[in-house]
Amino acid sequence: MGDKFTVTTRNSWGSRIANSFTGMLFGFLLIPLAIWGLWWNEGLPDLSVYAKESVEIDSKSVDAAFDGKFVSFTGRITSEETVGDPPYFEPGPYISVSRSTEMYAWVEQTESSEDVDTVGGGSTTTTTYTYRKEWTSNPADSGSFEYPDGHENPQPQFASETFRVGTAMIEAYLVSPNSGVSIPTGNEIAPKPGELPAGFVKAGKYIYTRDGAQSSPQVGDERFSYTALKSGTTVTAIGSVNNGEFAPFLYDNEHEFFRVFVGTRAEAIATLHTEYLMFLWIIRVLGIFGIFIGLQLLVAPIGRILSVVGIIGAAYEGITGFFNFFLALMLGVTTIIISKIFHDIYLLAAIILIIIGLVVWYMRGRSNKMVTAGAGAPASADNTDASPPKMT
């Protein structure tokens, strides 16, 4: 069986219209969901702002006065224990060792294109399924393939896993890496294997499950690579301390800090801010894109009806696509701005004060104009004093 398959499907005008109405229902759900996602996203806190409020303490000595407080401390993380992944990675002076496994497996790629008839509203959909072999950390279940015959993937024999020492110290403070604290994975490192099982071989940064897999891999071959956090690395811990042990801290009874970062306190705070910005912009882009897709689905039925004459349907879809893009952008940006205002109490208060000030200024200006207009008006005849002069 070949590695590329093409399927051609005919769709009638009526079936395309029916499918577009089904899609329209999905669009009605997608747009509010995307708007809600944008609103929720703007309310997420930048944890780096909170982290700046932590009290920086000396890691070289334990001070009970800081027990239960929100603190950060910097120092070298060390352990008397060793850790590894024997026999593939000999135990050594590491705090954690992470094994990443990959399998040489079949991967399915799908590409589709639709050609609308010039007249009649029907279309032809061409779908191409391409199968190739590559190293992947998530081998697919070949039973889900459109053409599984000849593209069978076996079950992986090894899984990715992280190994940590039981206890470590950041200078004078005890850290338990297996207590739920977030520990950095460290850097990529070439393994130092012990006596490997029969057939296993080390080549470069990988341990292969079969000699020859590094140059001529076969489906089902597996390989390992490793990252490790070395003992003696300078780290910063942000959380709390309790009787000389690093512990979690719940900020505002909502946001937990219990994390170790590589580097200084300033670098740890910068890492938190970078993570916040990355997540913030990913959700922003996905939210606006979701609104756009929803709008496209809402107008799709009209396009399908007009496609009875191909050029008219194509022109309609081009025009609506252009306007829907800018409408989605406008809705998304507006949602982001309003959400940011309502999630920032100080900004909201400032805007309310500005609005009140503008209203007062406008009303006062209008009142002054009315007074000025009244003072400059000529006296009417009815107000003329017509009484005869008094005699002295």
Q: What pLDDT, on a 0 to 100 scale, did the predictor assign at position 360?
A: 73
3-state secondary structure the chain: CCCEEEEEEEECHHHHHHHHHHHHHHHHHHHHHHHHHHHHHHCCCCHHHHHCCCEECCCCCCCHHHCCCCEEEEEEEECCCCEEECCCEEEECEEEEEEEEEEEEEEEEEEEEEEECCECCCEEEEEEEEEEEEEECCCCCHHHCCCCCCCCCCCCCCCCEEEECCCEEECCEEECCCCCCECCCCEEECCCCCCCCCCCEEECCEEECCCCCCCCCCCCCEEEEEEEEECCEEEEEEEEEECCEEECEEECCCEEECEEEECCHHHHHHHHHHHHHHHHHHHHHHHHHHHHHHHHHHHHHHHHHHCCEHHHHHHHHHHHHHHHHHHHHHHHHHHHHHHHHHHCHHHHHHHHHHHHHHHHHHHHHHHHHHHHHHHCCCCCHHHCCCCCCCCC
Q: What pLDDT, on a 0 to 100 scale, did the predictor assign at position 354?
A: 75
Q: What pLDDT, on a 0 to 100 scale, did the predictor assign at position 389?
A: 54
Q: Residues 140-184: pLDDT tens digits? A: 999 999 999 999 999 999 999 999 999 999 999 999 999 999 999
Q: Residues 3-56: pLDDT tens digits? A: 899 999 999 989 989 999 999 999 999 999 999 999 999 999 999 999 999 999
Q: What pLDDT, on a 0 to 100 scale, did the predictor assign at position 201?
A: 95
Residue 351 has pLDDT above 80, yes or no: no
Residue 121 has pLDDT above 50, yes or no: yes
Rounded to an integer, the average pLDDT of 183-211 is: 93
Rounded to an integer, the average pLDDT of 269-280 is: 97
pTM score, whole prediction: 0.82
